[in-house]
Amino acid sequence: MMRIGILASGSGSNLQAILDACAHGSIPAQVAAVMSNVAGARALSRAEEAGVPALLLAHGAYPSRDAYDAEMVSLLRRHQVDLVCLAGFMRLITPVLLSAFQNRILNIHPSLLPAYPGMHAVRQALKAGARVSGCTVHIVDEGTDTGPIVIQAAVPVLDGDTEETLAARILVQEHRCYPRAISLMAQGRVEIDGRRVRIKGSSGDPTRTLSSPELSD
């Protein structure tokens, strides 16, 4: 069974969605460890409540990003992690981690990439006057939110939306998309071909683009 390592800096709501999906059997994998760079992060207590090793790795104790990521790799390997999932991990990762888990690091981003990469994606969408936003699960590479896309979900931008209301509706879809993408990885169905992802065992797999209820009315 695939073993997942989750990196989180904050409350860990996507972490909780993954823990719940593993517990219910919709992800054929187990969370082997949760790691955070922030003492007292809610993500760590969520892990403890689920009986998962919760690891604090404070970045201030390391002289460089490379040194920090090398220690992270060591801990992930110690817990026999196969797949790394970023769930609100507020640090740029280095080639040290990328090379150790090549094509085996997932991230979720609150926009329909390649639109609005980087920080404040929801704010960017509203400022641009976008009528549709959403979320994307992608493979992590050396760029900023530039890796191959696994799954996306569309969310309409409503006339009265604020950054907070739109972000909240996108988060609902994140909690659907991330477990689905991890499940596909755990089943060995994700095939990376350059910048594109193919889902093995299906033709034009509809699960790769999930519609929110508001778009299906």
User: Among all residues, which ones are annotated catalytic?
Assistant: 109
* Residue entry with tokens 């790691």: 35
Contact between 212 and 156 under an 8 Å Cβ cutoff? The reply is yes
User: Nearest CA to 146 among 131, 136, 156, 155?
Assistant: 136
> Could you tell me which residues come within 8 angstroms of residue 25 by beta carbon, excluding any fewer than 6 positions away?
none
User: Nearest CA to 181 among 54, 33, 21?
Assistant: 21
Half-sphere exposure of 111 (CA within 13 A, CB side): 21
Contact between 42 and 9 under an 8 Å Cβ cutoff? The reply is no
Stated length of the chain = 217
Q: What tokens were used for 182?
A: 């991890």
User: What distance in Å separates the CA atoms of residue 73 and residue 170, rounded to the nearest whole number?
Assistant: 31
* Residue entry with tokens 């696994």: 150
SS3 3: strand
